[in-house]
Amino acid sequence: MQRHAWKKSNQRNPMLVVLVHVHVKAECVEAFRAATIENARCSLQEPGVGRFDVLQQEDDSTRFVLVEGYRTSEAPAAHKGTAHYIAWRDAVAPMMAEPRTSGRFKDVSA
């Protein structure tokens, strides 16, 4: 999967980062991982997506964090309207051990 370095869109519009925390059923780990990696691959083709990483917790393979970097504040909504996101959302919904949670962050290091 293609990797993108963290970059600010510009000084007035820093990248918006969304962290999505996911807990899946143990029997669904491999299917979830495969579906999510495919969603990430497709997401990186969107003009508003600058980064999309899929992380799996080392000591609990049922826990994942999706790190989504968006170039604009409108890009997350555009992402959620894509066919690949909708297919991913519907495919992984029954795999969840609990509802996923997310938070939006901005880079304040500059």
Q: What distance lies between CA 11 and its chain's CA centroid?
A: 23
DSSP one-letter string for 11-47: TTBPPEEEEEEEEB-GGGHHHHHHHHHHHHHHHTTST
CATH of domain 27-105: 3.30.70.100
Identify which has the larger pLDDT, 56 or 1: 56
Nearest-CA neighbor of 2 among 37, 35, 36, 30? 37
User: How high is the pLDDT of residue 108?
Assistant: 80
Helix (H, G, I), strand (E, B) or coil at 68: strand
Indicate if the pLDDT at residue 96 is higher than 80.
yes
Q: What confidence tier does 82 reach under pLDDT thresholds 50, 70, 90?
A: very high
Going from N- to C-terminal start, the domains of the chain cover: 27-105
**Residue type, position 8, single letter:** K
Tell me the per-residue pLDDT of 65-78, one tens digit each, with 9 for 90 and over. 999 999 999 999 99
What are the start-end ranges of the E strands in 1-109?
Answer: 16-23, 49-56, 63-70, 101-106
Distance in angstroms (rounded) separating the CA atoms of residues 5 and 83: 26
Predicted model pTM: 0.88
User: HSE of 10 in the Cβ direction (CA atoms, 13 Å)?
Assistant: 3
Question: Partners of 56 in the beta sheet?
Answer: 64
Q: What confidence tier does 58 reach under pLDDT thresholds 50, 70, 90?
A: very high
Would the CA dihedral through 44, 13, 79, 26 be positive or negative? Answer: positive
